[in-house]
Amino acid sequence: MSRTASPAVTPSLVATERDGRVLVITLQREHKRNAVDRALADALDAALNTLDADPDIFAGVLTGGRTVFCAGSDLTSGGDYVTERGGEYGIIRRRRRKPLIAAVEGVALGGGMEIVLACDMVVAASDASFGLPEVVRGVLPTCGALFRALQVLPPNLARELVMTGQPMNAARAYEAGLVNALAQPGDALAQALQLARCIAANAPLSVQASLGAMNGVLALADAAGWEFTRAALGAIAGSQDAHEGVRAFLEKRVPVWTGR
């Protein structure tokens, strides 16, 4: 008897799970350090649509799993990771009604840190790290970090992160105010859930109205922030160094800068 092979099942790139009134959203591309491509952006966008639309969900937690949060853009995607509702990665320009907490294990680098900056609160494992390494590759942060880092960090620290490209550990991020709470390694999700449950126990309309007001104040500066980001990107677009940085990264070698 001949058998027909079953089609391969593609695992979901983003998992969602209900915990009472809280929606847990988990990035599931760990073999690529949760680097965001078109498919992952679309899946995250859909999960965040569920968070916003389901009247029985009052808060959300976003995690990358137990080993890594997100290493940023998948450089092979060519920038194809923008969704209609959420913008870059499905989250960066999204106007959410409900609070979202980032639960960070491992690294949140580049676009991964920009995803963190797009969330409302952050719980991080004590061995986690945050960084904006774009200048090391001859490019720059384009998904909000050039102005959102200034909103949550002292300006000198924000400049240090952007211009050195070197990461900061979770303890320093906590002391600077980026991280709300530190957890033991492996426990960031559990502690983020505790925070989310505390929020979800409150009157949802009050929480949503308060969040909307506070985020609305911060968003007043967004138009200028995006304009200055576009200007900065224009200053390096098409430069030899920008091409060299990406080539060197993909070829796993030290870049040779020319300042051109």
Per run of 10 residues, the mean pLDDT along the chain (length 260 residues) is 35 93 97 96 97 98 97 88 96 97 98 98 98 95 98 98 98 98 98 98 98 96 96 94 89 93
Residue 136 one-letter amino acid: V
Paired tokens of 1: 């008897």
Which pLDDT value is given to residue 188?
98
Which pLDDT value is given to residue 6?
31
Which pLDDT value is given to residue 246?
83
Q: What pLDDT digit, counting tens, does each position of 158-170 carry?
A: 999 999 999 999 9
End-to-end alpha carbon distance in the chain? 66
> pTM for the full model?
0.94
Q: What pLDDT digit, counting tens, does each position of 181-207 carry?
A: 999 999 999 999 999 999 999 999 999
All domains in the chain, ordered by first residue: 14-184+210-250 (3.90.226.10)
- Sign for the CA dihedral angle at 163, 167, 173, 179 comes to positive
Active site residues: 114, 134
Which pLDDT value is given to residue 213?
98
Which pLDDT value is given to residue 1?
33
Residue 206 one-letter amino acid: S
